[in-house]
Amino acid sequence: MKILLVVSMIFLACFGYEIIIDKTQKSEFHTKDTNIRNDGDNIVVDILTGLVWQDNTEAKSIKRDYKAAVDYCKRLRLAGFKDWTLPTISQLESIADYSKQKPAIKNGFKNVYSGFYWSSSPCIETSKSVKDGKVRQLSYKDRQFGKEYQGRNAWCVSFSDGSSNNQIRKTSKRNIRCVRKAD
């Protein structure tokens, strides 16, 4: 598998075209077929980004809160690897396919729930907080170390339509799809 990945990456580097990522190119970029599925290991390799994605049945069925999702990926042992992490919002958005619905995910993935998946990216709140219906300025300590500033919410991607959302409470249970960088 490593040889196939290396050959594919060299091919893309030599014969690929330049991809510019900005808001006008986002939809086109995310719909390109750059995935190689490995059914034996239940993973999907994105040869463009160099990311390896978990795609076993647990990616469709397991739901956890944010902290448990982070722990799940740290403990995941899949395809002979143990360096899995919860993806960032950018990584998770890179597998969304905005031209599809239910599921809105790039080709190659088989185990998909058409709902929200956790990212590791917290939603950082502003320097103001609402507590008991009153707006108050957060102190320096709150902003630097407090739970409020670190965010009670985290970014998620819905594979129902590919949308991102930062209003998901970390205590909510959402699906998990772990990622690792290819060797």
Q: What is the pLDDT of residues 113-148, one digit of tens each?
A: 999 999 998 886 554 444 445 544 444 444 444 444
Per-residue tokens: 26: 């986002």
Mean pLDDT, all residues of the chain: 76
Q: What is the mean pLDDT of residues 6-22?
A: 35
159-177 burial code (b ≥16 CB/10 A, e <16): beebebebebebebebbbb
pLDDT digits (tens, 9 = 90+) for 72-126: 999 999 999 999 999 999 999 999 998 999 999 999 999 999 999 999 988 865 5
Predicted local distance difference test score (pLDDT) of residue 2: 53
Q: What is the DSSP letter of 138?
A: P
Mean pLDDT of 150-156: 81
- The 3-state DSSP class for residue 157 equals strand
Q: What is the predicted pLDDT for the residue at 139?
A: 42
Nearest-angstrom CA–CA distance, 2 and 38: 12
pTM for this predicted structure? 0.70
Torsion of CA 112, 115, 120, 125, to 10 degrees: 170
CA distance 113 to 75: 21
